[in-house]
Amino acid sequence: MNCEVCQLKELDVEYFEIREVLRCILHTIFFHRALGLVRPKDVDLTLFEITYVQCGDAELEKKVDEKIDLFIDRVEKHPNKKNQICLSFFEVKNKQATWFTHKVEHLYWEQWYINLNVAQHPKPHSGKSHHSKLVLDPGESASDEGNARRATLESSLHEVLFQIIKFVNEKKDHIPPIPNMEGVSFPYEITISSSSDSAFGMDMFKRMLQTGHPTMLS
Amino acid sequence: MRPRDKWFNLALRDCPAALENIDFWRQSNLEPMVVDVVLVQRPVNWDYASSSPKVAFEQNFLSKDRFPVVWKSDSDEFGCDGHSEKVIERWIMRYESKKGCKEGSSGNKRSSTITSHALYKKSILLLRSLYVTVRLLPAYKIFREINSSGQIRSFSLVHRVSSSVEPLVRRDEAEMQQFTFTPVDTSCGKLCISLSYLPSISDTTSESSTPMSPQFITDYVGSPLADPLKRLLSASLPQYSPSSPFGRRHSWSYDTRMASPPSALPSPSPTYSESRTLHSKFGSHRPPISSRYSSLEPAQVHTKDTGYDEYFPSPNFSPSPSPSPPVGSNMLKVLLRSDSAPVYIPASRLGDAPLYSNKTVLPFSPPLQATRPSLSLVERSLSIPTTAGKLLSLRGEETARPSGVKISLNSSPHKSSSRSFSRLSFENSYDDSEFSGPFVVDDDDTIDPGSRPGSSDRSGNLGMQHECVRSQDAAVGALVQMLKKAPPLQQDLNRSQYVSKTSRPEKSSNQILDHPPHASSNVSSFSRVSGIKTTSDAMEELKGYLDVKQI
């Protein structure tokens, strides 16, 4: 089974926009991959005029928020670097256990790469006022430049969501059978990496070689 | 939740409105289902109350063999004139059957089961995508906007279900973007869903939410435009004329303004600037207001005199950096000042001298206490044993002469000159008690009851003894009249002797009078008062006359 990889369009976000953007993208993906019984819940973004859909699974929401927190911490520790979240769906296959080894193999059948370019932000104790304003007051759109940037980001986020929809529609055969369960039916994992990591570029290169040109939808 | 609500693992509630109109397709018809989402815009003056929700059902006959069904759901009244419709979304669902495929053909059950599972999975995925896509389209924003706010808007959303694809307007069709969902393959065909939508419909619905551009409000509360009183006061401000040093001239101009409809917001006018120059002439030491009218007359701000502010208080909207008193207190000061210095308006002069008709526009009128003795002195000096008609005639001549001469000679600061204004105005206007009116000075401190017209017999001497400020011209005129109409010498001699015996000299101002014990000194006081060459000649003649009398 091939592993379908989807490299989503890179988004330029501010520090305070990370949470909302990641929530929107991750839950949209999960809604398409949680093929068990779900009770859809519409969620309106506060920073953008976008409504996305959640599965209505409280456990899933909690795990997603935890990963987002980790991502934000990593961004704070590694500023000025491109950061990436990888959502992978896999199947668990148990290898034949030997006397020394007992491995559980994860067979990834789909990976989603969310690329965020976070604008430079100061640490809380720093004295940079022009960035601290954004940190302290995330809801303000102070200038026209900020509004233009926000509009551009909203449009890009729209594109990313449509990219997800198109990918889901085009790639269906690689999805394993749906287990009889509610909510997220397939196991998954969320990994965080940044461009500073040595394996960051290599992983991407390997995936490109395996899957061919990423599906970049217009 | 019922089991049918969990189809495709998507727990949704029923939508009765949608289920009512798909019976046609329940009958296994292979006609496409076309769902149009239409944006209906009503005219501006559309009456919402007159319309009622309606559901109409129409049947259209397109061909003999088919009876396509067109169902419309509309919250508006059909046939509403002036409303426009625009298809913003079009969903087309059709099942394309394969040729040569037979339904219900016997086959491998396992493959059919697998096919069913795959079909179901793909259907689930299709519906998930459909569910998310609907909420990303522009029409969803309009839907939320309509449902969220309770405002009556000029637009609404309606949907139409039909079995035929009606051609769209070319322009709309060109603007629409297409999106086709991946067909779901079945054993004998595939289910296809396509979407056509307008990517941007903000221009259509922006009329209700477009914010107004920032504009200056010129007639809000506190501005001269909003307050008629302030408008009148401010409108009269430019009427100050430099040729009228008296406050009465201002009042006259103010009266004319009052008679005519007040003009609009006073714009900077030459008279306005000239009047400010007038004040500066008399040494106004008040600090200028810099920004009282900054929003209205920025060019005049730096030269505005605070004196005007007291009578024509500035609007409250513009902050003043100078520590000027508030508007209300300024107006109060004006009124109080006017009330504390009433003007006595003689009835005979109301027609001749509109200068004296309004008491409120005496800009620098101090209290009258200091001037009232002079009024009585004037009266007494003129009420020499002559008839009442003489007094009236004298008064008439006095008033006819402008008292502005004194102003020109008075180089004292602002306030003292204003006193002279008021003194002159009052001495010219004050008259006998027969001219009593609402503005009669009624102050016991300033008016000696003994100086009333009723005691005019002693006024020949008493008039000299009281403080009196007269114009030189008025004194000369009075003297000439006296000389002309003097009684015979014998009678005058008797009277003068009587007056000198009975009268007691009272204090008088050094400026004008002295108090000689004899009658001749009374005459000499007049000469002091006049003090001009022509008067001195007259006095010499009078002296000679009196000497003749004594002889």
SS (H, E, C) B452-515: CHHHHHHHHHHHHHCCCCCCHHHHHHHHHHHHHCCCCHHHHHHHHHHHHHHCCCCCCCCCCCCC
Distance between CA atoms of residues B75 and B79, nearest Å: 12
Query: What torsion, rounded to 10 degrees, do the Cα atoms B419, B425, B428, B433 define?
Result: -90
In a domain, B37, yes or no: yes
Q: Which of B262, B55, B289 is nearest to B161 (CA)?
A: B55
In a domain, B531, yes or no: yes
In a domain, B140, yes or no: yes
Q: What does the pLDDT average to over B289-312?
A: 41
What three-state secondary structure class fits A5? strand
- Whether the Cβ atoms of residue A28 and residue A52 lie closer than 8 Å to each other: yes
How would you class B251 by CB atoms within 10 Å of its CB: exposed for 0-12, middle for 13-18, buried for 19 or more? buried
Q: Does residue A42 sit at the B interface (CB-CB below 8 Å)? A: yes
Distance between CA atoms of residues B398 and B36, nearest Å: 96
Does the pLDDT at position B407 exceed 50? no
Residue B177 sits in the same domain as residue B303? no
Lowest mean pLDDT across A93-97, B266-270, B476-480, B533-537? B266-270
Minimum CA–CA partner of A44 in chain B: B135
Q: What is the predicted pLDDT for the residue at B381?
A: 43
In a domain, B307, yes or no: yes
Q: What is the predicted pLDDT for the residue at B275?
A: 42
Distance between CA atoms of residues B215 and B218, nearest Å: 9
Residue B377 sits in the same domain as residue B452? yes
Residue B51 sits in the same domain as residue B123? yes
B167-183: per-residue pLDDT in tens?
A: 877 777 788 899 999 99
Q: Show the domain range for B177.
A: 3-212
Does the pLDDT at position A168 exceed 90? yes
Q: Does residue A158 sit at the B interface (CB-CB below 8 Å)? A: yes
In a domain, B260, yes or no: no
- Whether the Cβ atoms of residue A93 and residue A107 lie closer than 8 Å to each other: yes
Residue B21 sits in the same domain as residue B51? yes
CA distances A52 to A22, B91, B110, B200, B321, Å, are 12, 21, 38, 19, 54
pLDDT band at A210 (very low <50, low <70, confident <90, very high): low
Largest CA distance in chain A: 66
Residue B180 sits in the same domain as residue B231? no
Residue B175 sits in the same domain as residue B225? no
Higher-confidence residue of B510 and A157: namely A157
Residue B207 sits in the same domain as residue B234? no
Q: What is the predicted pLDDT for the residue at B226?
A: 61
CB contact under 8 A, A37 and B11: yes
Please state whether beta strands A4-7 and B84-97 pair in parallel, antiparallel, or not at all (unpaired).
unpaired
B332-360: per-residue pLDDT in tens?
A: 554 445 444 555 445 444 444 444 444 44
Does the pLDDT at position B263 exceed 80? no
- Whether the Cβ atoms of residue A6 and residue A33 lie closer than 8 Å to each other: no
Q: What does the pLDDT average to over B216-231?
A: 65
Q: What is the predicted pLDDT for the residue at B37?
A: 92
Query: Which of A35, A53, A170 lies closest to B135 in CB terms?
Result: A53
Q: Which of B193, B200, B158 is nearest to B176 (CA)?
A: B200
Does the pLDDT at position A202 exceed 80? no
Share of chain B above pLDDT 70, in %: 31
CB contact under 8 A, B12 and A40: yes
pLDDT band at B113 (very low <50, low <70, confident <90, very high): low
Does the pLDDT at position B370 exceed 80? no
In a domain, B339, yes or no: yes
- Closest approach of A52 to chain B, Cα-based (Å): 7
Distance between CA atoms of residues B112 and A111, nearest Å: 30
The CB density around residue B190, as the number of other CB atoms within 10 Å, is 14
What three-state secondary structure class fits B448? coil
Higher-confidence residue of B111 and B525: namely B111
Q: What does the pLDDT average to over A29-50?
A: 92
Q: What is the predicted pLDDT for the residue at B398?
A: 46
| Residue keyed to tokens 């198109």 | A166
Residue B190's DSSP bridge partners are B96, B185
Residue B332 sits in the same domain as residue B206? no
CA distances B340 to B9, B366, B374, B430, B433, Å, are 91, 8, 18, 16, 20
CA distances B148 to B141, B142, B231, Å, are 10, 10, 45
Q: What is the predicted pLDDT for the residue at A32?
A: 94
Q: What is the predicted pLDDT for the residue at A85?
A: 93
Distance between CA atoms of residues A142 and A145, nearest Å: 8
- Closest approach of A130 to chain B, Cα-based (Å): 27
Residues of A in contact with B129 (CB under 8 A): 32, 165, 168-169
Distance between CA atoms of residues B207 and B153, nearest Å: 10
Residue B199 sits in the same domain as residue B339? no
Q: What is the predicted pLDDT for the residue at B392?
A: 44
Q: Does residue A43 sit at the B interface (CB-CB below 8 Å)? A: no
Q: Looking at residue B62, which CATH number applies to its domain?
A: 3.30.900.10
Tokens standing for residue B57: 């059902």
- Whether the Cβ atoms of residue B161 and residue B26 lie closer than 8 Å to each other: no
pLDDT band at B135 (very low <50, low <70, confident <90, very high): very high
Does the pLDDT at position A109 exceed 50? yes
CB contact under 8 A, A37 and B9: yes
Does the pLDDT at position A92 exceed 80? yes
CB contact under 8 A, A38 and B10: yes
Q: What is the predicted pLDDT for the residue at B126?
A: 94
**Number of domains chain B is built from:** 2
The CB density around residue B535, as the number of other CB atoms within 10 Å, is 21
Residue B491 sits in the same domain as residue B415? yes
Please report the ipTM that was assigned to this predicted complex: 0.82
Domain termination site, one of B212, B247, B276: B212
Residue B206 sits in the same domain as residue B317? no
Does the pLDDT at position B300 exceed 90? no
B428-463: per-residue pLDDT in tens?
A: 444 444 444 444 444 444 444 444 444 444 444 444
pLDDT band at A182 (very low <50, low <70, confident <90, very high): confident
In a domain, B50, yes or no: yes
- Closest approach of B138 to chain A, Cα-based (Å): 10
Q: Does residue A172 sit at the B interface (CB-CB below 8 Å)? A: yes
Q: What is the predicted pLDDT for the residue at B315?
A: 43
In a domain, B341, yes or no: yes
Domain termination site, one of B180, B212, B244: B212
Higher-confidence residue of A151 and B310: namely A151
Element (H or E) spanning B73, and its range?
Answer: strand B69-74
What three-state secondary structure class fits A67? helix
Q: Which of B31, B50, B14, B17 is nearest to B160 (CA)?
A: B17
CB contact under 8 A, A53 and B144: no
Residue B478 sits in the same domain as residue B512? yes
Does the pLDDT at position A199 exceed 60? no
